[in-house]
Homo-oligomer: A and B are copies of this chain.
């Protein structure tokens, strides 16, 4: 863990920089996969699943029986917990469904916006030994609440051709039953272009390895939307003297265990806190099953001493963390000054794990300083807002000459005529 004592302002920018991940070497490999899927459809998918996931598949689509069978393979207690998390995620995401009222901008001119779900969306869930079934909830629930008609989920099968039952179970209780055994860049290609088996989708969501990330970036330049650009997960903790060092250590480790490239930062105005957090982190690290991964991430972690808590908030706004935990005596007031962050955890009992799983907020959040220009996934991510306007004859009489003058000043006479011809008909009426 790197300790930085009262860094100069000039050094902040450097401290906020994330490691640059150069993925240009992936370009050719991913391009070949995407082209293959585009040209050869299902045939390419079977071939690529054999090649990359070692699975000889009979069907790409997960069968009804496989989905139904998944529930029986999950302990009852865990199912109950998943259901509580699901209920909380639903509650919070349903509150995001807000309908707007029409505005009469000038007499006889009414304008409004209406939510419309993106019709076809694709969700990607990575495979591996630890199945990220929580991400299924985080993507499928808002998609369902938004009202998307067709929700496709792709996840890589194991060598026997099976998807982890936890992924199937959470998908099915979230209302997603179009599940396909496809992983990596080929899954992104399948959802972006469509194949014989997989419907084309207009927006693709979900985390993944470098191939998946590159594939999402590449289909985006072909007009398929993506949730957000990806990077390693991050936490920044703001702590003052009131914060419990063992809590802070546990939060830093929870982040560090994600991967060797996880970004872990503590900023504080209390020199003692840094010492105590270091001790606690080393103590807790020893007991962690994923301690090898975590200790790699901790090597690049930053413990930064600043002059005041206000300065800590300022640093955090510069850093723009994915997760921000505020563990100070007055966390609510500080929270109002946050300008750049994905998700903010207020007070020492609001641990990141709560938001990762069960409090109700979404855990698909902008990393890599993208909190400066992106929001996390929400019901909005699955929606578009269509604008409407209704102009009465009186409305056009009022506003007509404004439109005519502006159109003329832009040399667009056709635009002007569309008003003039209507105004003339009203005069003659």
Contact A335 B419 (CB under 8 A): no
Contact A109 B401 (CB under 8 A): no
Instruction: Name the B residues within 8 Å of A100 (CB-CB).
Output: 95-96, 98
A168 within 8 A of B: no
A244 within 8 A of B: yes
Name 16 A/B residue pairs within 8 A (Cβ), A-sorted.
Answer: A77-B405, A81-B401, A81-B406, A92-B111, A105-B360, A130-B412, A217-B221, A247-B422, A247-B425, A253-B414, A253-B418, A255-B414, A349-B392, A352-B415, A357-B402, A361-B389
Given A346-B388, A359-B109, A414-B294, the answer on whether A95 and B101 have CB atoms closer than 8 Å is yes
Given A105-B91, A247-B422, A414-B257, the answer on whether A119 and B339 have CB atoms closer than 8 Å is yes
- A residues with a Cβ closer than 8 A to B are 77-78, 81-82, 84-85, 87-88, 91-92, 95-96, 98, 100-101, 103, 105-106, 109, 111, 113, 116, 118-119, 129-134, 166, 202-203, 217, 220-221, 223-225, 229, 244, 246-247, 250-251, 253-258, 284, 287-290, 294, 331-332, 335, 338-362, 365, 368-376, 378, 380, 383-393, 395-396, 399, 401-403, 405-407, 409-419, 421-422, 425
Which of A369, A372, A425 has the most CB atoms of chain B within a 10 A radius of its CB?
Answer: A372
Number of copies: 2
List 11 additional A-B contacts (Cβ < 8 Å) besides A354-B396, A359-B391.
Answer: A85-B402, A106-B359, A109-B360, A202-B372, A250-B418, A250-B422, A288-B414, A344-B387, A346-B390, A350-B389, A352-B418
Measured CB to CB, the closest approach of chain B to A421, in angstroms, equals 5
Instruction: Name the B residues within 8 Å of A335 (CB-CB).
Output: 388
The 10 closest A-B pairs by CB, nearest first: A105-B360, A257-B414, A202-B373, A130-B411, A88-B105, A250-B418, A343-B387, A254-B414, A346-B390, A81-B405
Given A134-B406, A403-B358, the answer on whether A344 and B389 have CB atoms closer than 8 Å is yes
Among B166, B340, B355, B419, contact of A409 (Cβ-Cβ < 8 Å):
B166
Contact B220 A343 (CB under 8 A): no
Contact B391 A343 (CB under 8 A): no
Instruction: Name the B residues within 8 Å of A111 (CB-CB).
Output: 92, 359-361
Q: What CA separation (Å) do A284 and B250 show in the bound complex?
A: 73
Instruction: Name the B residues within 8 Å of A386 (CB-CB).
Output: 338, 341-344, 371, 375
Contact B105 A359 (CB under 8 A): yes
Q: Which residue of B lies closest to A115 (CB)?
A: B375
Q: What CA separation (Å) do A294 and B131 show in the bound complex?
A: 57
Instruction: Name the B residues within 8 Å of A411 (CB-CB).
Output: 129-130, 289-290
Instruction: Name the B residues within 8 Å of A360 (CB-CB).
Output: 103, 105-106, 109, 111, 389
Contact A290 B109 (CB under 8 A): no
Instruction: Name the B residues within 8 Å of A347 (CB-CB).
Output: 390-391
Instruction: Name the B residues within 8 Å of A413 (CB-CB).
Output: 257, 288-290
Among B105, B246, B345, B388, contact of A343 (Cβ-Cβ < 8 Å):
B388
Given A410-B130, A410-B134, the answer on whether A361 and B349 have CB atoms closer than 8 Å is no
Instruction: Name the B residues within 8 Å of A113 (CB-CB).
Output: 96, 378
Measured CB to CB, the closest approach of chain B to A129, in angstroms, equals 7
Contact B415 A254 (CB under 8 A): yes
Contact A418 B247 (CB under 8 A): yes
Measured CB to CB, the closest approach of chain B to A345, in angstroms, equals 6
Contact A417 B288 (CB under 8 A): yes
Contact B250 A421 (CB under 8 A): yes
Contact A354 B253 (CB under 8 A): no
Given A133-B410, A413-B289, the answer on whether A254 and B418 have CB atoms closer than 8 Å is yes
